[in-house]
Structure 1
């Protein structure tokens, strides 16, 4: 699972159609621009099984497109293998964190460091709120927060 440099990150939210695909796309673009994308395995997943196989929410795609960022992700649920293969699992809120820690406890060879993506936010906004029931502005706020967090995460892991 690890890339040539041995680095890997899995971004996680509830359904894998809003926040985590935005974070994945933002991080992939940053890693590409910094010429380190070949050193990373980058993916995203869901704690739930609600949207498996679905494309990201159209508002997520529109927000990313507005910022010249692409995604071809399809929603998937986090697996037990993810805990053994990913170095970092970065999630969006406390509910995701609880679900992931509970699942990790049933994995014998868990190596993943499970954290809130917001723990890397220089503006100290720990939680990345689910924009699903919100407006385009809520998706924009998620995008901006992901940019801040991913920038710091990449700097600390380069």
Structure 2
């Protein structure tokens, strides 16, 4: 009998910047380690502004810059079922975590964690680069690098 897949859901406010980067990084790590078949991975939003849209163009430019060229995603909102479907739901900052705690149903089986808890550099908050200058990818690069550190550390411990 096959064992149940492990599962993670990455959450941010709009599901077009931080959580898609985290999802793409995690999927890349799983591919590199030949573990993709053992995991279910997704990302979602707390807000509904971008539902059905792809990631921000700066997100996609950043992923491409770091060699992730096959990522596809449409923003979706977190659902009540996500709290029982996933083993771990990762938020990116304190506001995400507060909102997840408020929305958490009584039958929640997922562990709610801040992705930055796994940063070996101790950078707990993954700052939202959405409102940065449109021409500056620096904030997106920082998110990518944080996600690589955090996702690698989390996967090493799983």
TM norm structure 2: 0.94
The equivalent of 2:109 in structure 1 is 111
Query: What are the superposed Cα offsets for residues 90-142 of structure 1, whole Å, 9 maximum, x if unpaired?
Result: 110000000001101xx232110001000000000000000011130010000
Give the 4+ runs in structure 1 shifted more than 4 A.
none
Structure 2: segments with no counterpart, 5+ residues: none
Unmatched tracts of structure 1, length 5 or more: none
CA distance in 1, matches of 2:124, 2:28: 22
Change (3 A) 1:99 1:16: same
Residue 120 (structure 2) aligned to one of 122, 129, 132: 122
* Alpha-carbon contact 1:22-1:143 (below 8 Å) kept: yes
Mapping of 1:6-155 within 5 angstroms? 6-69=5-68, 70-104=70-104, 107-134=105-132, 135-155=136-156
Instruction: Give the number of equivalent residue pairs.
Output: 153
Residues 4 and 29 (structure 1 numbering): CA distance in 2 closer, same or farther, change over 3 Å? Answer: farther
When the two chains are superposed, the root-mean-square deviation of aligned CA atoms in Å is 1.1
TM-score normalised by the chain length of structure 1: 0.94
